[in-house]
Each structure stands twice: as C-alpha cells, then as structure tokens.
Amino acid sequence: MTIQLGDRIPEAVLQYIEHGVHRIDTNTLFDGKKVVLFAVPGAFTPTCSERHLPGFVANFDAFHSRGILVACMAVNDPFVMQAWGNSQNVPDGLRMLSDGNAGFTRALGLEMDASGYGMGMRSKRFALYAENGVVRGLWVEEPGEFRVSSAEHVLANLPG
C-alpha cells in the first residue's frame, strides 16, 4: 500500500557517502525535523539529471531558509549517488541517499518495475514533505511525467 498523508515514515536504513560509506535509519533522518525527500528513478538519467535534481539544487536555499532539510534518493548504490551529486554540484547539506536494494522504496509503496528498460526495480518519481516523521505533503508523478515532484511545485504547495 502506498504511503498516505498523515502516515509515519516507515523504518528503513539508507546509505550515503561522507568520508566513507554511512548508514542512516529513517528515524534519525526524519524524527524531530522538517524534511523534503525527493526520489528519482535513476541517477544520471535524462530527466533526473537535467531537471529534477537541478531544480532542488537551485532552490536549496529556499528550503533551507524555512528550516527544511532536503534529501535526494534513488535505487542506486551510494557510490553512484555520490558521483552524481558531485557532477551536479550539489550543495553541502543536500543529502544524496542510496536505497540500493529498494527496501525503503517498497516500504513506501512507491516502487516501479523498470525491467523493460534494463533498470530492474526502481523508485517512482516523487517528493514528500514530512514533519517529525509524519507525511504532510506527497507528490507522486504519473509514469513519464515530471510536474508535481519538482522543487518549484513542492515549494509552492508546502502545507502550513
């Protein structure tokens, strides 16, 4: 079942690289914080690299000024996420998270089968906004779309 507004973020462990590979559980990531997490089907893919991540990079300060942490997630390994972040000049503080085995993505109910494209199980393109581990905003794209999970759309539609 897909996560809904008012649901708690499910427990899972993600990875990131910062002077080595680190694991972070979703409780640590979300509890006591305001967080925008956006997910892409794959690092280095066209829409993700040309529009989705660059929009959050360009609007990072607007989120930061509202006390909102920003994280990008993909079903890729942490080394790929680090390389992609470096290639996109991701600012310090925008965390590039790996859900390598899609465990968190499945727990959210936002997985998609991209086997037809040679990519296996991936995340749908989405953005969510959570306060203290509870989903307050959720924007899931239709297949092939990129509108509602953009940084600009999320900023304009943050609750409160």
**For 13-33+46-144, CATH number?**
3.40.30.10
Percent of the chain with pLDDT over 90: 88
Say whether 72 is catalytic.
no
**For residue 22, what are the β-bridge partners?**
16
Lowest mean pLDDT among 19-28, 42-51, 84-93: 42-51
pLDDT > 80? residue 160: no
Give the pLDDT confidence score for residue 124 in this predicted structure: 96
Prediction pTM value: 0.95
65 has a pLDDT exceeding 80: yes
Question: Exactly one of 9, 36, 48, 138 is catalytic; which is it?
Answer: 48
pLDDT tens digits, 141-158? 998 899 999 999 999 999
